[in-house]
Structure 1
Amino acid sequence: MRRLLVLVLLIAVAVGAGAAWWLRAPMALRAGLDATQPLELEIEPGTTPRGVAQAVVQAGFDTDARLLYWWFRLSGQDRGIKAGNYEIPPGTSPEALLHKLVRGEEALRAVTLVEGWTFRQLRAALARAEQLKPDTAGLSEAEIMTRLDRAGLPAEGRFFPDTYTYAKGSSDLAVLRRALHAMDRRLEAAWALRASDTPLKSPEQALILASIVEKETGRAEDRAQIAGVFTNRLRVGMLLQTDPTVIYGLGEKFDGNLRRRDLQTDTPYNTYTRPGLPPTPIAMPGRAALLAAVQPAATRALYFVARGDGSSHFSNTLDEHNRAVNKYQRGGK
């Protein structure tokens, strides 16, 4: 009986000491976790709790790795720590550090893909993105699409313009894959809402038209009207005669000045010389352009011209259009 009593007392003392240590440990560690600037902490997959504690110290925290390790263990959450790249701000408490690691709150960067960008501009943005692994560097467009399991599909226009966050060291292919799937979803949703009388035959044609609408629109309120003009032209078999497709077909030859000879030089993208839609999109359309392409404004207009303030003037007849061109482009009255 006496031995049992002694054992109970020893256990109580041990528990009490452990509890006291548990309460004091964060205070003992806190000073060591203070820093004057954010510190980067990288935890590789498969790292043990002891390895995590050592990684914390190696990242620049002035604390005892053994003490930190035992504090992780006694928290009961040591096995829940997730691999990743973390940014730890100054003054982070051990409780906050453990919370961040268990929740997997990685340090995220962001890259924005802009509506109307070409695939070349998209690639340049990814190349400039902070701490994004350039796995596509040196790959051709076709090779990139093969890596994304879309072999044979043109890359132009296939990625949805948006802001994408990523962890430090992520692959640019991962960002592209997310943007690709986002466009798949947006295009599918838009196609499901298409007008019953649309002349478009497939989601791919909707994507191509949306890219043209995106490049032609100066003001958001004109987007559906512009889509209506192109839809009307497709219905009656008129040439689309849209400058952005010609410019796209010129590629790096375009010097910022579109000349008459450019409009007369035949390329697969010259909608002044070839009927119908071009063979691929010419840019990344946003959601509004996708919807405008499948739900154009009900209009009789077959022409439009830029007013010079970002808006467009729409005309039903060629005579009216010529007068508008003379007024807004040539300074006439």
Structure 2
Amino acid sequence: MLWRRVGWTLFVVLLIAGGIGLYGAWRVLWRPNVEPSPFGPAYLYIRTGGTYQDVLDSLERHELLLEPATFAWLAEHKGYPAQVRPGRYLLESNLGNAALLEKLMQGQQDTVEFVLDAFKYKPQLARQMQRQLEADSTQLRRLLNQQATLQRQYRVDTTTVLTLFIPGRYRFVWNTSAQQFLDSMAAHHRRFWSAERQRRADSLRLSPTQVHVLASIVQRETAKPEDKPVIAGVYLNRLRRGMRLQADPTLLWAIGNFGVKRVLNKDKLVDSPYNTYKQKGLPPGPITSANRQSLDAVLKPAQHDYLFFCARAGGSGYSDFAASYAEHKKNARKYQRWLDSLKIKR
């Protein structure tokens, strides 16, 4: 009958329309819309103060989406242009527009594994930070030179502030500011100084800052884990006896040349608080950022009677130790002859 045919036709039309509508909804809301990358995870970076247009431009410029138009349509309907939040966002390839927008609107960032390498100078630290985070290196350098603030908030000064930064791996959100970076590293520093480590420092009659300074010297002396506690013990023995440290790394800091292989007598005349050939005690600040291994070598030094050491001939990286100056001179002559054989004059 005619009414049945009309009914079936209407049913088919509605079914098709419904299917098209469901497909459209799936395509806009749930269909994976992130462009798969053969080069590893894809990330969207939104700088502090970034606008909705900046987000669209970044998505298009880096070709992160399969269909930017569907993302833009849904973003506007959900009110995202007024809710842009900065950060570094991991874009998994299975993300549809709805899930992606939820992540962006809630600020569900992926954290950054921040690798802090050993450094000797403040600008080197600032450059490391800016390479890995949004934070402004100029602002960090300014903070590291605010004497009154450093003393009040962190109990360090512009010379010892580098003791707050212990090389290693940390987690940060990408849009961390310079102030937040400094605060976080200071918090990690406080956690490192457990009650047990503080007790060990007290037993050595050293403050945490002094431990960092001595550890920085030990770290510049050797990369060999076995030698670190022994070298720490040498310097502690010299400090107890009121002897000058006569540490070559502090002298290289004073003359501004860490590439020297052979220290000359004229180098020892430089007028600097870091010249431990002339000055007694520890220098005023660290000569590099000491890592945990070097710090613990100072806190758990080897017990011995050595007062001298020098690099071992042959370039192994190990040191020869001596309890007497006469024995030390023999070791030093071996090392000097080895340098001569290589025609190294400096």
2:328 is the alignment partner of 1:325: no
Q: Is the 8 A contact 1:190 1:294 kept in 2?
A: no
2:281 to 272, 276, 280: 276
Shift in Å, 1:98? 6.0
* Aligned equivalents of 1:44, 1:124: Cα separation in 2: 19
Q: What are the ranges of 5 or more consecutive residues in structure 1 without an aligned counterpart?
A: 1-20, 46-50
Shift in Å, 1:108? 3.8
1:227 to 225, 232, 237: 232
Count of aligned positions: 301
Over 3 Å counting, the alpha-carbon distance change for 1:215 and 1:254 in structure 2 is closer
2:121 is the alignment partner of 1:115: no
Where 1:299 maps in the other structure, the secondary structure is coil
* C-alpha distance after superposition, 1:46-74 (max 9, x if no partner): xxxxx99x99877453316565788x79x
Over 3 Å counting, the alpha-carbon distance change for 1:98 and 1:139 in structure 2 is closer
* C-alpha distance after superposition, 1:133-155 (max 9, x if no partner): 33526637423883793474532
Letter in 1 for 2:336: Q
Q: TM-score, normalised by structure 2?
A: 0.70
Q: Match for residue 223 of structure 2?
A: 218
The 5-angstrom pairing of residues 184-195 of structure 1 reads 184-189=190-195, 191-194=197-200
Over 3 Å counting, the alpha-carbon distance change for 1:277 and 1:97 in structure 2 is same
Shift in Å, 1:301? 0.8
**CA RMSD in angstroms, aligned pairs only:** 4.0
Q: What are the ranges of 5 or more consecutive residues in structure 2 without an aligned counterpart?
A: 1-20, 61-67, 341-346
* C-alpha distance after superposition, 1:252-273 (max 9, x if no partner): x667464321112231111101
* Aligned equivalents of 1:267, 1:40: Cα separation in 2: 49
2:131 is the alignment partner of 1:124: no
Q: Is the 8 A contact 1:229 1:302 kept in 2?
A: yes
Over 3 Å counting, the alpha-carbon distance change for 1:24 and 1:55 in structure 2 is farther
2:70 is the alignment partner of 1:63: yes
* Aligned equivalents of 2:258, 2:232: Cα separation in 1: 25
The 5-angstrom pairing of residues 229-308 of structure 1 reads 229-251=234-256, 256=260, 258-307=263-312, 308=315
Letter in 2 for 1:327: K
Shift in Å, 1:236? 0.9
Q: TM-score, normalised by structure 1?
A: 0.72
| 316-325 vs 124-133, which moves further | 124-133
Identity of counterpart residues, as a percentage? 30
Q: Match for residue 10 of structure 1?
A: none
2:182 is the alignment partner of 1:176: yes
* C-alpha distance after superposition, 1:59-97 (max 9, x if no partner): 453316565788x79xxxx9xx99442242444235653
Over 3 Å counting, the alpha-carbon distance change for 1:110 and 1:117 in structure 2 is farther
Q: Match for residue 146 of structure 1?
A: 149
| 263-272 vs 36-45, which moves further | 36-45
Over 3 Å counting, the alpha-carbon distance change for 1:104 and 1:190 in structure 2 is farther
Shift in Å, 1:103? 7.4
Q: Is the 8 A contact 1:232 1:300 kept in 2?
A: yes
* Aligned equivalents of 1:89, 1:274: Cα separation in 2: 58
Letter in 1 for 2:128: A
